[in-house]
Amino acid sequence: MSREAGRIVCGRGSGQEEESVMVMHTGMGGQRLPIDNIIQCFPKLQQNMGTTHDHWIQAARGICTTDTFFKLASRTFTLPSSPETTSSIAGITKGAGMIHLNMATTLGIICTDAPITPRALQQLLSTAADKSYNCISIEGDTSTNDMVAMLANGAAAPNNAHFPIDFDSSAESQSEDLISFQRMLIEFMADLAKLVVRDGEGATKFITIRVRGAPTYPAGKHIASAIARSVLFKIGVYVSFMPVDGTEELNFVKKGGLVKVDEVRAKKLMEEEDVEVIVDLRDDGRKWREDDEEAVYWTCDITHEFVMINGDFRN
């Protein structure tokens, strides 16, 4: 299928048929893709290609399945080595169900004109995916059909010749450009991934889980993932219990012991749409600082509507 699409988009005999087209798909489990019907539509790909905002919106809408809204994000940025040059990044994604670690039934396509080498791009994408798409869960189910791809053409490079963002596995430290781009990419991909969670099938609550004080980041992420997969927890959050509006935290457990809960205040907080759960494993009394590392996971509640949607849709 990729070969045939390449022939139409790139032209037959160009030698780039298979290299220029990636096949990405999600779909109903246990059913074959209607390959012939898809191939017949390939000519429309070339006819509808473009770079305007409307073209991005059409692409974002085109990959929706049970999504209730299309998911598109973009931003501009500069690099430390060339602050006078503005680069851009844009991305689309889809997904609303069967979402868990290793992405499951979600697709993501990200494009940037930043000057970056292929080896750096792969390293940056893998690191960012680990802290974004691999930190979301809707119902804890995975799939075989997930993919996030990133493309970079270097068009924003000064004189279209210099590639300042590179990755050297043997170096003790990486360049300021790579570090800056990595930080931005993690935030950007997290924004895309969170759109998937906010569109969770039947969801009414957006839940942020923060685990602090774990011995390692992977250990903290494992704890956060376990909470995000808990069906009882997610059903319980259907009535929420903690806001993110700056008010004092509502504690349930402190230093291993249960804390008496103000039920009147808890009832008031149940109306909040955004819920934040903090698991602080430290016992030294030190307050949390912004530069302290934490593992963050995003999930949503499980509702009556979730059951209805999945009862009516064959996965």
Which residues are known binding-site members for substrate?
Answer: 65, 94, 105, 201, 310
Please pick, among 105, 112, 299, 303, the residue that the annotation labels catalytic.
105
Active-site residue flag, 105: yes
Both tokens of residue 218? 């992977």
Report CA Rg, the chain: 22
Query: Which residues contact residue 12 at a Cβ distance below 8 angstroms, ignoring those fewer than 6 apart?
Result: none
User: Within 10 Å of residue 293's Cβ, how many Cβ atoms?
Assistant: 10
> What CA–CA distance (Å, rounded) separates 6 from 41?
13
Q: Amino acid identity of 119?
A: R
State how far the alpha carbon of 156 is from the alpha carbons of 79, 88, 114, 180, 289, in Å. 11, 8, 5, 16, 36
| Binding annotation | 65, 94, 105, 201, 310
Any idea which residues carry the catalytic annotation?
105
